[in-house]
């Protein structure tokens, strides 16, 4: 099996699984309990928070543990909007956001907020001029994805952050879920106020994530309970999940030199597809994330390509895993200006630090042996 669907989820590191199991077995106490077992769990939770804060170069009290990226995005957007509605009702995002951001903006629009959706160019990148023009005194939050999960486009986050702080009082939220560990991002230098991460995207476990919230950012939560996570996210903490996420983040940081290898793999695949007649490269050909490449065969359906490769043990995907089982095209690829046929025929190849040169070679070999037969069907029909 050659797994090239890492944007959907990554395989957990063995060390991460071991960490989760150890904490679950030996330190299973509730961290809010007064007895020694609870105290040990609380200590482990605090240590994980400190380790993550050190990696992100933020303060430990700015880390809120969550159940994953969708909750982090929802918590960030609704938390800021609810706390700042008296300051304005204008909110900004982009046309290629993950559904956990885009759909929240649609919900807020129904509640009466004025929503600006920034368009993207052929490379899936926003215009900074358009962002600057959209900002006004009533803008209370701007949410921009760092790395797009479908095509790998990288947004100019630092430049956007500078514009937001210069031209408005808005908070700046970044969905960094797809880019962490592969595309560098400095939270402080980019003027980021809120940032979402999900562990299963970087060899951690599903059901664990975090939200970074800069201190003093007005924030209100609707989830009431035992006041865990500084009252921002009530509920008994997932200690094993937090500890294993910190472990995954440390390991990803230690393996960051493998990003150069991913760059080489992506370049190799880009050159290969550039010479393959009938294939359209959807991803930015040069300035894209090192681990994602989206290509299309107009005239075929992406799902047909996915299943044809799967029969030979190659796993890729079509659109975002959150949308791929629905009968719909990619909102991201449509926003980039590609045709309907290109949209329908697109597949995403997404790698990780575990991907090898042999994997890439076997993928190319399988594509060469499987895809031409499918393309012959287009000519006949």
- Domains 2-9+256-380 and 14-254 alike in fold: no
Active site residue 264: no
- Per domain, the residue ranges of the chain are 2-9+256-380, 14-254
Q: How far is CA 282 from CA 120, 127, 292, 305, 347, in A?
A: 13, 19, 11, 15, 9
User: Half-sphere exposure (CA, 13 Å, Cβ side) for 206?
Assistant: 4
Nearest to 319 by CA among 337, 291, 285, 343: 343
pLDDT at 292 over 80: yes
Q: What mean pLDDT comes out for the span 15-21?
A: 97
Has domain 2-9+256-380 been given CATH number 3.90.1150.10?
Answer: yes
Q: What mean pLDDT comes out for the span 281-291?
A: 94
**Tens digits of per-residue pLDDT, 159-187?**
999 999 999 999 999 999 999 999 999 99
**Tens digits of per-residue pLDDT, 296-327?**
999 999 999 999 999 999 999 997 445 445 55
Who wins on pLDDT, 155 or 286? 155
pLDDT confidence of 233, banded at 50, 70, 90?
confident
Minimum mean pLDDT range among 182-196, 279-293, 316-330: 316-330
Residue 263 confidence (pLDDT): 96
Residue 381 confidence (pLDDT): 56
**Tens digits of per-residue pLDDT, 94-146?**
999 999 999 999 999 999 999 999 999 999 999 999 999 999 999 999 999 99
Residue 15 confidence (pLDDT): 97
State the burial class of residue 62 (Cβ atoms within 10 Å of its Cβ: 0-12, 13-18, 19+): buried
Residue 324 confidence (pLDDT): 46
Q: How far is CA 160 from CA 151, 200, 323, 345, in A?
A: 20, 27, 28, 32
**Tens digits of per-residue pLDDT, 24-82?**
999 988 887 789 878 888 899 999 999 999 999 999 999 999 999 999 999 999 999 99
Residue 380 confidence (pLDDT): 59
Token pair recorded at residue 379: 């000519």
Q: What is the largest CA-CA distance in the chain?
A: 73
Phi-psi label, residue 328: left if phi above 0, alpha if psi -120 to 50, beta otherwise = beta
pLDDT at 224 over 70: no
Tell if the pTM clears 0.85, that is, is over it: yes
Rounded percentage of the chain residues whose pLDDT exceeds 70: 93
pLDDT, the chain, mean:
93
DSSP line for 207-249: T-EEEEE-TT--------SS-TGGGTS-S---HHHHHHHHHHH
Cβ-contact 275, 240 below 8 angstroms? no
Among the options 55, 322, 364, 375, which is catalytic?
322
Show the beta-strand stretches assigned E in 55-193. Answer: 63-66, 90-94, 114-118, 139-145, 171-175
Residue 225 confidence (pLDDT): 60
CATH number for the domain running over 14-254? 3.40.640.10
Q: What mean pLDDT comes out for the span 335-363?
A: 97
How large is the C-alpha radius of gyration of the chain? 21
CA angle, 332 as apex, 197 and 126 as ends, to 5°?
80
State the DSSP H helix or E strand holding residue 69, giving kind and residue range, or none if neither: helix 69-84
């Amino acid at each position: 099996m050659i797994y090239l669907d890492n944007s959907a989820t990554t395989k957990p590191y063995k060390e991460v699984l071991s960490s989760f199991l150890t904490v679950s077995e030996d330190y299973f106490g509730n961290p809010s309990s007064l007895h020694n077992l609870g105290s040990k769990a609380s200590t482990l939770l605090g240590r994980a928070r400190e380790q993550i804060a050190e990696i992100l170069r933020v303060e430990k009290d700015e880390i809120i543990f969550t159940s994953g990226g969708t909750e982090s995005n929802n918590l960030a957007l609704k938390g800021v909007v609810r706390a700042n509605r008296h300051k304005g009702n204008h909110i900004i995002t982009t046309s290629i956001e993950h559904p956990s951001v885009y759909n929240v903006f649609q919900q807020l629009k129904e509640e009466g907020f004025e929503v600006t959706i920034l368009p993207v160019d052929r490379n899936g990148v926003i215009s900074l001029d358009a962002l600057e023009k959209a900002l006004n005194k009533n803008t209370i939050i701007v949410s921009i994805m760092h790395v797009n999960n479908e095509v790998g486009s990288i947004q100019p986050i630092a430049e956007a952050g500078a514009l937001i702080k210069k031209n408005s009082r808005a908070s700046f939220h970044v969905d960094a879920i797809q880019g962490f560990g592969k595309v560098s991002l400095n939270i402080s230098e980019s003027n980021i106020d809120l940032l979402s991460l999900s562990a299963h995207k970087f060899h951690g476990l599903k059901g664990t994530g975090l939200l970074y919230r800069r201190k003093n950012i007005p924030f209100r939560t609707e989830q009431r309970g035992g006041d865990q996570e500084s009252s921002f996210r009530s509920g008994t903490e997932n200690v094993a999940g937090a500890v294993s996420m910190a472990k995954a983040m440390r390991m990803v940081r230690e393996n960051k030199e493998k990003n150069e290898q991913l760059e080489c793999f992506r370049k190799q695949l880009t050159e290969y597809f550039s010479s393959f007649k009938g294939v359209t490269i959807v991803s930015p050909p040069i300035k894209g994330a090192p681990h994602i490449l989206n290509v299309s065969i107009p005239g075929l359906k992406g799902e047909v390509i996915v299943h044809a490769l799967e029969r030979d043990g190659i796993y890729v995907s079509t659109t975002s895993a959150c949308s791929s089982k629905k009968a719909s095209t990619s909102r991201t690829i449509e926003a980039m200006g590609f045709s309907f046929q290109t949209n329908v025929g697109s597949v995403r190849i997404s790698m990780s630090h575990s991907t090898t040169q042999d994997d890439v070679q076997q993928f190319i070999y399988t594509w060469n042996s499987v895809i031409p037969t499918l393309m012959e069907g287009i000519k006949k029909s």
